[in-house]
Amino acid sequence: MITPRDDVALMDGYHSPQVDVDVRLNTNESPDSPPEEWTNAIADALGSIEWNRYPDRAATELRTKIGALHGVGPEQIFVANGSNEVLQTIMLTFGGSGRTAAVWEPTYALHSHISRITGTAVVEGERAVDFSTDLAEVRRVIDAAKPQVSFLCSPNNPTGVVDDEATVRAVLEMVTAVDGLLVVDEAYGQFAPWSADVLIADDAPLVVSRTFSKTWSMAASRLGYLVGPAWIIAELEKVVLPYHLDAFKQAAGTLALAHVEEMNERVSRLVEERGRLVARLAELDVDVWPSGANFVLFRPRAIDGSEVWQRLVDRSVLVRNCSSWPRLEGCLRVTIGTPGEDDSFLSALEEALQ
């Protein structure tokens, strides 16, 4: 009987629990639907798709409009089925047997998981006590392992920490010195005060990944993209499967880019609501970490986090249990929802903490 690769057989898959509850705040989705104008436009677009023909392999229109958003041409944009496929394509291109990827924990679990799936060795460093990027630790890991790919997540998932420009510049210098590639994962970048895309240059081994799942309210579409030097994009296009991005998804993303103002308004509302939620959490018996994303990490002080998670589920509220993640014992992560959803969460949490 056929068996999987030995390293794959030992892996645990990456899963987010899908539980039937009234309030679901565990996967950092937008609580708001896309604009009605977009919904109507995508319905109209269905009629113009030539379903018997393959889609535009280069996704030219979509890449052009995404590029305009970042002030670059389409040759500097790579699009794929969610930012996870973007990351997977990076590792298929620049990782593999005999190569190494570097991460600093705690951080997004799929950076390590995807690396290992592609046969890439993973070296793990640690973040500082406050979960910020520790440049001395970054230098230790990079000097010792000389990784081909290094990952930064900013705002970091699940801690919410944002790396400032000076930090990313310093890491980029270290990565450049060992002929590596720096991947800055900005899945929550629209919530942050700056973007590492300002550092992208032809002679800089830096790429920035984004997703339509969060701020664009399009998690169901599974659309993500990468901004980087044209020469890196050209290498990724050699690896990705032909016609991997279907015509409907290309239309959905292209039409969404006509609603940048509405997206920015959603981000502003969520940032304001995040402030309200953090203020309320600060009044409860939990430790709370500051966040630059659309979620907040917290740890109950007197009751085990996994027990609190179950008590919340019993009250039909689902958050993310991060207790099994490195250095996050007892921690939970809550997505910013609507004011009503957040009130339900806070009420259930107050009961769960007793």
Distance in angstroms (rounded) separating the CA atoms of residues 310 and 41: 41
Residues 122 and 95: beta-carbon distance below 8 Å: no
pLDDT of residue 2: 75
Q: Taking 80 as the threshold, does the pLDDT of residue 82 lie above it?
A: yes
Range name among 9-18, 32-41, 82-91 with the lowest pLDDT average: 9-18
Rg (CA), the chain: 20
Between the CA of residue 345 and those of 11, 21, 308, what are the distances in Å? 33, 12, 12
317-333 per-position pLDDT tens digit: 999 999 999 999 999 99
d(Cα 248, Cα 116) in Å, to the nearest integer? Answer: 31
Polymer length of the chain: 354
Q: Are residues 79 and 256 in contact, defined by beta-carbon separation less than 8 angstroms?
A: no
What one-character-per-residue DSSP string does 232-291 give?
A: HHHHHHHHSPTT-S-HHHHHHHHHHTT-HHHHHHHHHHHHHHHHHHHHHHTTSSEEE---
Residue 285 has pLDDT above 70, yes or no: yes
Res 11: pLDDT: 57
Q: For 131-175, write each residue's pLDDT tens digit.
A: 999 999 999 999 999 999 999 999 999 999 999 999 999 999 999
Cβ atoms of 325 and 306 closer than 8 Å? no
Query: What is the C-alpha separation between 99 and 121, in angstroms, rounded?
Result: 6
pLDDT for the residue numbered 216: 92
Q: What is the pLDDT of residues 252-271, one digit of tens each?
A: 999 999 999 999 999 999 99
Residue 19 has a pLDDT of: 81
In angstroms, rounded to a whole number, what is the distance separating the alpha carbons of residues 210 and 194?
13
Q: What residue ranges define each of the domains in the chain, with the CATH number in brackets?
A: 6-33+261-352 (3.90.1150.10), 51-258 (3.40.640.10)
pLDDT at 278: 97
- Interatomic CA distance for residues 309 and 315, integer angstroms: 10
Q: What is the mean pLDDT of the chain?
A: 95
Between the alpha carbon of residue 66 and those of residues 91, 222, 254, the distances in Å are 23, 16, 8
pLDDT at residue number 76: 98
Query: For residue 7, what pLDDT band results from cuts at 50, 70 and 90?
Result: confident
Q: What is the pLDDT of residue 14?
A: 56
Angle at 15 between CA 191 and CA 80, to 5 degrees: 60
